[in-house]
Chains A and B, each alone.
Chain A
Amino acid sequence: MSVWQQYRLRLERKRWRVRAWRKRRELTAVEDRTARIAPGDILVFSTFRNEDVRLPWFLDYYRRLGVGHFLMVDNASDDGGREFLAGQPDVSLWTTDASYKRSRFGVDWLNWLLRRHGHGHWCLTVDPDELLIYPFCDTRPLRALTDWLDASSIKSFSAMLLDMYPKGRLDGQPYRRGSDPLEIAQWFDSGNYAIERNHRFGNLWIQGGPRARVFFPETPALAPALNKIPLVKWDRRYTYVSSTHMLLPRGLNLVYDEWGGEKASGLLLHTKFLDTFGGKAAEELSRGQHYGASREYRAYAGLGADSPDLWCKWSEKYINWRQLEILGLMSKGNWA
């Protein structure tokens, strides 16, 4: 990589940082409990809109893994989710009714909070419908992973998005607030992912899964990206560039081995496809606030009024992380 390119990436990183700094004014604190963050706490950063039904399970799940504090941005929810979170002792909450799209889908807001509060902490940036799975997550808390990453001088941890879906129509089984969404969305595609290298940022670009298969069979280039780097030992100089798909400085994107070996990695189980998806899709279509002109929701709407069935004969039923490891979707690397 030439010095010129390096310099341009540096400028780009500064640009995103300045942008995050400008966008900080859009955030109003509802409950700022960041003073309670202890040194060494693992932090979760998340932005959401009308996800009240998912929030209890989301908090429970990550509390069980050992997350110390949640820093959440509410984007004009009107379903009571904001009030619910404001009452949680380990949540700091900000709210905004500014444009999600113009904050680059929440990235600017979270970049600002990461910079203010994330420095020196392991920070996990996830949506309320994303559940982190990592090697040994059934026997070792998240702290075991971050301690090991620290000991191995690794600063960022990859967790590809794995779309989970139910068998049958999406609206076939109603999701109850506080229950495990994986009881409904328990199926996934195990081996239909295409990977390319993004040479500019050094990250991998992964597409595929049920969304490519069902929503984008004719135009696979438009299918959503699945590569994610959600867990980072944050430094105030870092910045997410596009969602959590890639970061700057670009060394943080090198979460894969290039010489034949495997680095440790996890998965974000994406439980978007519940009975709530239809309502979301209808709302987002009218708001037009989502990525790529809400392409995904339009593709979904294009399938007709019928709620689609993402399940196919070769879908795999989720058991545990070891199954995902054997299938080659994630890896233990040299963590044993």
Chain B
Amino acid sequence: MTSTLGVVMLIHTAFDRAEQVIRQWAAAGCPVVVHVDAPVPAERFDAFRARVADLPDVRFSPRFRCEWGTWGIVAASQCAADLMLGEFPDVRHVYLASGSCLPLRPVADLVAYLDARPNTDFIESATTADVPWTVGGLSEERFTMRFPFSWRRRRRLFDWYVRVQRRLGLRRTIPDGIVPHMGSQWWCLTRRTLSAILTAPERPVWDGYFRKVWIPDESYFQSLARLFSERIESRSLTLAKFDFQGKPHIFYDDHLQLLRRSDCFVARKIWPHADLLYDTFLGTQGSAMASGEPNPGKIDRIFAKAVDRRTRGRPGLYMQSRFPNPNWENGLTTARYSVFEGFSHLFEDFETWLARATGTRVHGHLFAPEGVEFEGRQPTFSGALPADAALRDRNAWMFLTSLIWNTRGERQCFQYGPMDNQDVSWPIAKDPNADVSVISGAWAVPLFRSNLDFAELRVQAARLQRIEAEHIKALRSSYAKARVRIWTMADFVEAPMEALQGIVDEIGQSSRRRLAEVPRMVDLGGFGQFLQNLKNQGMHPYLMGDFPVAGGSGGTQPPKRKPYLVK
């Protein structure tokens, strides 16, 4: 007496593995009908047939050419299923498997599982409208167009004919009563359903229709089972995962524990050289594993992550196999960072104060012309980024993206200004991860405090003002995505505490509390007059806002701000 489970097996390569699996099925009493792909040479086929000749319940069905996405696979399954139903009257469920399928649990487990559900058809089957399985961009059109050309071998002709049909609006009519469904090609159907499909009087019409459907092996039985089945469980008993191009993921030796814990009955596709998997799962026929419902959740997650890695990648990473075109980066940088412009001119020891107040990594002017001012003025920084100006300026934006990538998990802050390399001005403005705080015109403070002669100062001031105006234009443009705050210097010195509090809150690293300590502002006595002198020389410094001249030279100084905040 043979088992109530019969297996139809489609094979085209790795015959020694297929033989091992056939023996596994046969040892549990399951009859096996084998279909070998037609292109396999006759000698190979005969040799293989001879090797399993000792198994009484193994049959070979007529051979078809099974090219991916074509009708041959359906024809082969039909024929083999027919043979199975005819030759083995005890069979109640027919399981469609491939040569690279591997039973993970004892076959007896599967038989018992099916015996408990004698009228259930296990076939993944969903309407096209409800699922996003549109690999190759064809979902509903699979059923309304004709596909006479091979996708594998005649790709251009295939694409051309799809375009022609789209343009001309050619549509096929779907035979009466059929609602197109799609799903995994690996099913397990009951004798009732299967024989109803195979012996239906409308079958010539259906076959004629599905023969020209795209990838009929994923829709023929899936659609027709809906007409006859008493009870459909819309899932496959075979664990098979597909990548973003519709190719099956492959299992290797290092998946052993995952497969073990999945409690699935059958998995595909197994790499033919995965010795450990074959030895482990074919070695024992005992009831080693806990029986239960298949639970492929963890495997699903791993493969979903792999597809995500391939299609979306890690935001902000630029490397040998991820180099996105502009606007396709899916995140210009990895993490948020803060850019401070003018603060270090206006406050003494601003970097130290900011690091203490926010607990972040605070650098000096990363893009200073003399070299990179890393925190603590280190000669190298995270990722072995060197501080040399020439190396940085070779590709300044990549220098910054590398820095942000290398320091993932730790927020970076740095100073920036019109005296620095401006190559990163636009990229920063366009980066949603950038928090940019600008005190416009503060670059004048170091000039004001320097000992340069006035003619030189005037030239410098004009240059810096032009550069900063350009930069602010970028920050304010419609392309800017950075969070930008701009104060004129005059506004800022009016109320510096509020502004600083806002910045520290937004970085949000330390707990939200009032600032206990504020940085010391440099002495601005005479700054108003300095600006007035520039004006008098015909160079109008406007980015600072309206700074009071404070009554001519030698006049009263603006009142000194208290360095500590009143709580």
Contact = CB atoms under 8 A, between A and B. Distances in A.
Contacts of A313: 378, 380
Contacts of A227: 320
Contacts of A144: 252, 271, 273
Nearest to A190: B383
A260 B328 contact: yes
B320 A259 contact: no
B311 to A, nearest CB: 5
Contacts of A213: 380, 384, 386, 388, 391
A148 B250 contact: yes
Interface residues of A, number: 60
Contact of A262 (B313, B329, B399): B313
B307 interface: yes
B306 interface: yes
Given A191-B382, A192-B384, A333-B309, A259 B321 contact: no
A192 B402 contact: yes
A334 B320 contact: no
Given A139-B253, A260-B328, A314-B382, A195 B318 contact: yes
Nearest to B391: A220
Nearest to B243: A334
A329 to B, nearest CB: 7
A160 interface: yes
Contact of A259 (B317, B324, B402): B324
Given A143-B273, A262-B321, A191 B383 contact: yes
B307 A329 contact: no
A59 interface: no
A331 B254 contact: no
Contact of A332 (B249, B252, B309, B312): B309
Interface in B336-366: none
Contacts of A262: 309-310, 313-314, 317, 319, 321-322
Contacts of B250: 147-148, 151
Q: Among B250, B253, B405, find the residue whose CB has the most chain A CB atoms closer than 10 A.
A: B250
Interface in A200-226: 204, 206-207, 210, 212-213, 216-221
A279 interface: no
Contacts of B310: 257, 261-263, 333-334
Contacts of A221: 394
A193 interface: yes
Given A147-B271, A315-B384, A334 B321 contact: no
Given A191-B405, A219-B390, A328-B319, A210 B384 contact: yes
Nearest to B255: A336
Q: Among B307, B378, B381, B384, find the residue whose CB has the most chain A CB atoms closer than 10 A.
A: B384
A55 B402 CA distance: 36
B386 A192 contact: yes
Nearest to A141: B273
B322 to A, nearest CB: 4
B264 to A, nearest CB: 16
B395 A335 contact: no
B323 A256 contact: yes
Given A139-B254, A192-B402, A328-B314, A334 B307 contact: yes
Nearest to A204: B323
Given A328-B319, A334-B307, A191 B385 contact: yes
B451 interface: no
Q: Among A189, A262, A264, find the residue whose CB has the most chain B CB atoms closer than 10 A.
A: A262
B252 A257 contact: no
B467 to A, nearest CB: 24
Nearest to B381: A314
Contacts of B254: 136, 139-140
Given A147-B271, A190-B406, A206-B320, A218 B390 contact: yes
Nearest to A208: B391
Contacts of A293: none
Contacts of A191: 382-385, 402-403, 405-406
B398 interface: yes
Contacts of A193: 319, 398, 402
B382 to A, nearest CB: 6
Interface of B: 243-245, 247, 249-250, 252-254, 271, 273, 302-303, 305-307, 309-314, 317-325, 328-330, 378-386, 388, 390-391, 394-395, 398-399, 402-403, 405-406
14 contacts: A139-B252, A140-B252, A160-B320, A191-B382, A191-B406, A193-B398, A207-B394, A212-B391, A218-B390, A258-B323, A263-B321, A328-B314, A329-B320, A336-B305
4 closest Cβ pairs, A-B complex:
A191-B383, A334-B310, A336-B306, A265-B321
Given A192-B386, A195-B319, A262-B322, 6 more contacts: A140-B253, A259-B311, A260-B313, A260-B324, A328-B319, A330-B319
Interface of A: 136, 139-141, 143-144, 147-148, 151-152, 158-160, 189-197, 204, 206-207, 210, 212-213, 216-221, 227, 255-265, 312-316, 328-336
